[in-house]
A = this chain, B = another copy of it.
Amino acid sequence: MNIGDAAKAAGLPVKTVRYYADIGLVRAPDRSPAGYRRYDEAAIRKLAFVRRARDFGFSIEECRELLSLYEDRSRSSADVRAIAATHLAEIEDKQRQLAALHDELAHLVEACRGDDRPDCPILDRLG
């Protein structure tokens, strides 16, 4: 499979697949005589794996770790769980920050009349 079909199969843009190859995350296992990257089933599965992990918000480096655990048949589930749990804690942290932000900003927007006059509690608060 050429890169275009592989990308389609994995649900990724071609550019991204090439990028993943460049950074050594998922390399094409082979090249055609003309130099075209050729992807097999296993490589496409890895690409799809990375796409899903990225959808879950895992960073590229986390994906690299997960991928090596994924490929290592003797890995323990504890390792994977640790990565996921850390990531989950980060998400919860971000959620808290976002909630605080939201409440403050919502207050300001509510307090702002939003008319033609220059009185604006939002600017007052910022300035």
The interface bits of chain A over 8-46 (1 if a CB of B lies within 8 angstroms of the residue's CB, else 0) are: 000000000000000000000000000000000000010
Chain B contacts for A74, CB-based, 8 A: 118
Q: Within A104-120, which residues are at the interface with B (CB < 8 Å)? A: 104-106, 108-109, 112-120
**Chain A's interface: helix, strand, loop or mixed, by majority?**
helix
- Asked if A88 and B105 sit within 8 Å, CB to CB, the answer is yes
Q: How far is the CB of A21 from chain B (nearest CB, A)?
A: 20
Q: List 16 A-B contacts (CB under 8 A).
A: A49-B126, A49-B127, A57-B101, A70-B127, A73-B118, A74-B118, A76-B116, A76-B118, A77-B116, A77-B120, A78-B116, A84-B105, A84-B112, A88-B102, A88-B106, A91-B105
